[in-house]
Amino acid sequence: MRATIPTQGRTKEDVLGELDQFAADDVDYAHGKTWSLVYWPGDAHYDLVSAANLRLLSANGLNPMAFKSTKRVETDVVQMTAELLHGPASTVGTMTSGGTESLLCAVIAARERARAKWPWIRRPNIVIGETVHPAVDKAAHWFGVAIKRVPVDADGRAPAAGFRRKIDRNTVLVIASAPSYPWGVVDPIPEIAALAKSKGLPCHVDACFGGFILPWLERLGVAMPLWDFRVDGVTSISADLHKYGYAPKGASVILYRDMSYLRHQFFVATHWKGGVYASPTVAGTRPGGPMAAAWASLVGMGEDGFLSRAKEAWDGAEALRKGLRAIPGLRILGLPHSTIVAYASSDPDVDLYAVADLLEAGGWSVDRQQAPPSLHCTVNAANGPVIDKYLADVRAAVDAVRADPSLATKGNAAVYGLLSAVPLTSVSERAIRDVMAGMYAPGDAKESGPPGGPMVERAARAVKRARDAWRSVAGSR
């Protein structure tokens, strides 16, 4: 049955009670059961940012002249972030709704800058490390920009030599990661930025994950590659406040070294009968609540709060790395540049996707990765108390999968295994689109939700058909 607006409004208690029921089956992030998605700061900080959100709940940052409060908090957040990332006095930027919008802004600003600076470029491209977040792919797809990918080395870094080979006369931007999300590795930013500068190109550092954790780890004495505005040639940086900035979703910042880059991010329309329309970011209406909450998070947490939580997160990540290395059949991916821990199988009898299924059955939220099949953990302070339990469950799951290889052919393990094995990516994409179409199809709201049951089975069948077809064609050559 389709959901409808009730004839009579319901009471506050009734409405909030039903929301609590909706959330009853959500993963237990407050007790460390998630390794991504939520960066839980604790009840006291949550209460603070919630109250700040309510203060500007109705404010609209689309018009900072009407809502001066939104421009004030945005200016403060941009300046505090610039200071943290060693931006020069000329640093400017905007807040956005999240890392994806920040990366969209970086790409559109580079494209528009190229149109003004090099109007003869008709087919612009950007050169990126292959582990750069797929939000850049979305930006390139939407904005008509080609992507040229630089393969990463065995440690997960995109080498500057790879960028040098990919850059051509149509390149308008290069992007590197600090760190990359899959393995938590910081690209060699000084070499990449120097190359970009020598070519007259802007260099964006995607620090959506690392922007509010790497600086604190460096202050704690963790060996950290140089990556921020201290690097000559870095022209812009994106950093998410709703990750280790402990702000509610969605809040991010895009910073530019100076206004000569930011001005190309602005959109202005003067022909509309409704008047002049000007927007600094992708969004039109810009909710003031998340801006205020992000501001409150920074000033409420303070350096001492960020440092203490960064230490807890780092200690947890180190304990997790040490524990995983001690489990036969597993190997750590990448380098210890951040609080991301990714691990793969070193034993052909241990299917990591089957291990993931068993972990999920035990109540853990699991992030699966590919090339190679691996599991991803973003460690924060909330995970510290449960790391020993997680390691024990991982060890038990590895032993179970080694003892029963058939687990790799069941459940989500089969789907992820097929998706990662099929080289026909367009076929895999169609199968995933079919799953998403099922999630968003019209129908009873009570029956909609994440892919599972029949939808997963349909995806598995579609991918299996694609794999079998590919093998048939490959075998005939």
Q: What is the chain's pLDDT, residue by residue, as a tens digit (477 residues)? A: 788 899 999 999 999 999 999 988 888 888 888 888 888 888 999 999 999 999 999 888 888 888 889 999 999 999 999 999 999 999 999 999 999 999 999 999 999 999 999 999 999 999 999 999 999 999 999 999 999 999 999 999 999 999 999 999 999 999 999 999 999 999 999 999 999 999 999 999 999 999 999 999 999 999 999 999 999 999 999 999 999 999 999 899 999 999 999 999 999 989 999 988 889 999 988 999 999 999 999 999 999 999 999 999 999 999 999 999 999 999 999 999 999 999 999 999 999 999 999 999 998 989 999 889 999 999 999 999 999 999 999 999 999 999 998 888 776 655 555 555 545 455 567 766 676 677 667 765 554 444 444 555 555 555 555 555 544 444 444
Query: CA–CA distance from 162 to each of 91, 132, 147, 150, 225 (Å)?
Result: 29, 14, 14, 5, 19
203 burial class (0-12, 13-18, 19+ CB within 10 angstroms)?
Answer: buried
Task: Supply the pTM of this predicted model.
Answer: 0.89
pLDDT (0 to 100) of residue 59: 87
Q: Are 177 and 186 in contact (CB under 8 A)?
A: yes
Instruction: Give residue for tokens 């940086």.
Output: 237
Q: Are 57 and 50 in contact (CB under 8 A)?
A: no
pLDDT (0 to 100) of residue 453: 47
Going by their DSSP bridges, the two strands 125-129 and 146-150 should be labelled as parallel
Q: Are 137 and 183 in contact (CB under 8 A)?
A: no
Q: Residue 159's CB: how many other CB atoms inside 10 A?
A: 18
Helix (H) or strand (E) holding 127, with range, is: strand 125-129
Distance of alpha carbon 376 from alpha carbon 366, whole angstroms: 7
pLDDT (0 to 100) of residue 138: 96
pLDDT (0 to 100) of residue 3: 87
Query: CA–CA distance from 412 to each of 359, 383, 393, 459 (Å)?
Result: 12, 25, 18, 10
Strands of 340-345's sheet, edge to edge? 330-333, 340-345, 374-378, 367-369
Which is it for the CA torsion 307, 311, 312, 317, positive or negative? positive
